[in-house]
Structure 1
Amino acid sequence: MIKHRLAEPRSAKHDLYSFAADQLSQEDIWSEAAVFLIGGGDTVATAMTALFFYMARNRECYRKLAEEIRSSFEMRTQIKGGAKLTNCKYLRACIDECLRMSPPLASTLWREQRSQDSGNIVVDGHMVPRGTRVGVNTYSLHHNPTYFPEPFKFWPERWLASRDENRTSREAFAPFSTGSRGCAGKAMAYLEISLVMATTLWDFDFEEAPVKGAMEGGIHQRFSYQTSTEFQLHDVFVSSHDGPYLIFRPRTHSVT
Structure 2
Amino acid sequence: MEFSFSSPLLYIVYFLLFFLVRYLLKPKSNKKLPPGPRTLPIIGNLHQLMGPLPHRTLKELSDRHGPLMHVKMGERSAIIVSNARMAKIVLHNHGLAVADRSVNTVASIMTYNSLGVTFAQYGDYLTKLRQIYTLELLSPKKVRSFYGCFEEELDVFVESIKSSVGQPMVMYEKCSKYLYATICRTIFGSVCKEREKMIKIVKKTSLLSGTPLRLEDLFPSMSVFARFSKTLKQLRGLLQEMDDILEDIITEREKTTEISTESKDDEDMLSVLLRHKWHNPSGAKFRITNADIKAIIFELILAATLSVADVAEWAMVEILRDPKSLKKVYEEVREVCKEKKKVTGHDVEKLEFMRLCLKESTRIHPAAPLLVPRECREDFEVDGYTVPKGAWVLTNCWAVQMDPEVWPEPEKFDPERYIRNPMDFYGSSFELIPFGTGRRGCPGILYGVTNAELMLAAMFYHFDWEIADGKKPEEIDMTEDFGAGCIMKYPLKLVPHLAKN
Contact persistence 1:121–1:127 (CA under 8 A): yes
Residues 47-66 of structure 1 show CA distances to partners (whole Å, capped at 9, x for unaligned) of 11111111221111100111
Instruction: Say whether 1:243 aligns with 2:500.
Output: no
Residues 151-184 of structure 1 show CA distances to partners (whole Å, capped at 9, x for unaligned) of 10011111222538xxxx9431111111222222
Displacement of 1:27 in angstroms is 5.0
Displacement of 1:32 in angstroms is 4.1
2-structure distance, mates of 1:98, 1:35: 24
What is the match of residue 359 of structure 2? 96
1-structure distance, mates of 2:273, 2:440: 15
Q: Residues 34-183 of structure 1 correspond to what in structure 2 (within 5 A)?
A: 34-77=298-341, 79-82=343-346, 84-114=347-377, 119-122=378-381, 127-163=386-422, 170-183=429-442
State which structure, 1 or 2, has the greater radius of gyration over its C-alpha atoms.
2
Displacement of 1:79 in angstroms is 2.2
Out of 119-128 and 234-243, give the one that drifted further: 119-128
SS, match of residue 430 in structure 2: helix
**Judging changes above 3 Å, is the alpha-carbon distance between structure 1 residues 62 and 50 closer, same or farther for their aligned structure 2 residues?**
same
Contact persistence 1:110–1:135 (CA under 8 A): yes
Displacement of 1:210 in angstroms is 3.8
Contact persistence 1:109–1:135 (CA under 8 A): yes
2-structure distance, mates of 1:65, 1:196: 13
SS, match of residue 464 in structure 2: strand
Displacement of 1:248 in angstroms is 1.5
SS, match of residue 156 in structure 1: coil
Please point out which of 7, 15, 18 is paired with 2:272: 15
**Judging changes above 3 Å, is the alpha-carbon distance between structure 1 residues 66 and 5 closer, same or farther for their aligned structure 2 residues?**
same
Displacement of 1:19 in angstroms is 4.4
Contact persistence 1:90–1:156 (CA under 8 A): yes
SS, match of residue 99 in structure 1: helix
What is the number of equivalent residue pairs in this alignment? Answer: 231
**Judging changes above 3 Å, is the alpha-carbon distance between structure 1 residues 17 and 135 closer, same or farther for their aligned structure 2 residues?**
farther
1-structure distance, mates of 2:421, 2:412: 20
Residues 202-234 of structure 1 show CA distances to partners (whole Å, capped at 9, x for unaligned) of 1111122244698544xxxxxxxxxxxxx4331
Displacement of 1:2 in angstroms is 2.4
1-structure distance, mates of 2:405, 2:495: 37
SS, match of residue 160 in structure 1: helix
Residues 72-123 of structure 1 show CA distances to partners (whole Å, capped at 9, x for unaligned) of 22233462122x4222210110000111111111224210034xxxx53456
Displacement of 1:128 in angstroms is 2.3
More helix by share: 2
**Judging changes above 3 Å, is the alpha-carbon distance between structure 1 residues 132 and 200 closer, same or farther for their aligned structure 2 residues?**
same
What is the match of residue 2 of structure 1? 246
Contact persistence 2:371–2:436 (CA under 8 A): no
Contact persistence 2:311–2:367 (CA under 8 A): yes
2-structure distance, mates of 1:16, 1:126: 43
Contact persistence 2:466–2:494 (CA under 8 A): yes
What is the match of residue 198 of structure 2? none
Unaligned runs of 5+ in 1: 218-230
Instruction: Say whether 1:196 aligns with 2:455.
Output: yes
TM-score, scaled to structure 1? 0.77
In the alignment, residue 445 of structure 2 is paired with which amino acid? K
Displacement of 1:26 in angstroms is 5.0
**Judging changes above 3 Å, is the alpha-carbon distance between structure 1 residues 152 and 121 closer, same or farther for their aligned structure 2 residues?**
same
Contact persistence 1:107–1:138 (CA under 8 A): yes
Identity fraction in percent = 24
Please point out which of 471, 480, 495 is paired with 1:233: 480
TM-score, scaled to structure 2? 0.41
2-structure distance, mates of 1:235, 1:150: 24
1-structure distance, mates of 2:274, 2:370: 29
**Judging changes above 3 Å, is the alpha-carbon distance between structure 1 residues 75 and 125 closer, same or farther for their aligned structure 2 residues?**
farther
2-structure distance, mates of 1:124, 1:104: 30
2-structure distance, mates of 1:66, 1:213: 18
Unaligned runs of 5+ in 2: 1-244, 262-269, 281-285
In the alignment, residue 195 of structure 1 is paired with which amino acid? L
In the alignment, residue 5 of structure 1 is paired with which amino acid? I
